[in-house]
Amino acid sequence: MKIAIGADHAGFALKEQLRRRLAEEGHEVLDFGADSAESCDYPDFAQPVAREVAQGRFDRGILVCATGIGMAMAANKIAGVRAAPAQSEDQVRLTREHNDANVLTLGARYLDEQHAAGLVHIFLNTGFLGGRHARRVAKIAQLEES
């Protein structure tokens, strides 16, 4: 799977751990930064990851900041992106099954590497159920157009 990944300074360490793991698992991973734990602005990393996913150049995106919320807000400004912050396995599974989320945002303050890696695994391996959920996701796309 092709994965775009990015983080701000608060998510840098966790992003690095996840990037290494994903590459070891055989995924093609492109890192959009940050390249250090020096203070920076999360929208600068959310935007390119979101654009690449929205344009279909990557299958999924993963963004990490302190809470996962700022990254989700910034990524969701890009049409075609359905970014979801999540901290539990159930949240990740449901956002894939019901919302066809294509970007997962994680909060480094609340997740250790093992937990985050488990969430990423679920995100990458859970399919979209379609059906009534497809109708709802289509309505999100309509909102982007108005």
Low-confidence ranges of the chain (pLDDT < 70): none
Q: What is the pTM assigned to this prediction?
A: 0.97
Contact yes or no for 1/27 (Cβ under 8 A) = yes
| Residue 137: burial class (beta carbons within 10 Å; 0-12, 13-18, 19+) | middle
Does 2-145 carry CATH code 3.40.1400.10? yes
Which residues are the active-site residues?
A: 65, 98
Q: For 82-117, write each residue's pLDDT tens digit.
A: 999 999 999 999 999 999 999 999 999 999 999 999
> Percentage of the chain with pLDDT > 70?
99
How high is the pLDDT of residue 145?
77
Show me where the domains of the chain are located.
2-145
